[in-house]
Amino acid sequence: MIKIDLYDSYYNRSDGKYYIKKKEKNLKPLKESKNKRDKVDNRLYKMSIKNNHKHPIKVSIVMPTYNKYHQTSLSLYGLSKQTFPQAEYEVILVDDASSDNTPNIFKEADVPFKFKYIRMKQNKGRSSVRNIGINHAEGNLLIFLDGEMLAPPAFIENHYKHHVHESNLVVTGAMHYEGVYTFIMPDYNED
């Protein structure tokens, strides 16, 4: 069970529900939505969920983003093409109060995995939004991926394989990157 004291709520892994503390210290389950998109409102952020299912999540990918709409859209596309079973991973995109089109990603994204979109009401910084993403992660394995990173198809599977064979393991990718340019980005030019 992950307890989130800061927001007076917590996620219970055993029953897969979020709970909010009442003043009397009794716990009340949040209303379950009949839609595929569940919404949770908190003082600091709002969370929406797509493709919510009861299948156990093995891997949680936490992606902080700020004003990277085009890059984040490409990242989500890459994550939708993974070789790892789609029902066994989730992506938690934490939008740090972007002022671009990033809030539209939740409506536009047609993803096969469980997708949690958390929209901060105020900009809090990379480490704070990562921690909020961690608090909502269901998987036993956490992968941190920046919102502008493109993951190859075996990205999740490779991380997971390393963790299956070893305990207390930290896996990192190569410490280099390559620029990707596309015509859908506003800064694109022929050069």
In the three-class reduction of DSSP (H, G, I as helix; E, B as strand; rest coil), residue 177 is classed as: coil
Instruction: Tell me how far apart the alpha carbons of residues 26 and 21 are, in angstroms, rounded to a whole number.
Output: 6
- Residue 183, pLDDT score: 54
Instruction: Tell me how far apart the alpha carbons of residues 176 and 179 are, in angstroms, rounded to a whole number.
Output: 10
pLDDT digits (tens, 9 = 90+) for 57-100: 999 999 999 999 999 999 999 999 999 999 999 999 999 999 99
What is the percentage of the chain residues whose pLDDT exceeds 90? Answer: 54
pTM above 0.75, yes or no: no
155-165 vs 69-79: helix crossing angle, rounded to 10 = 60
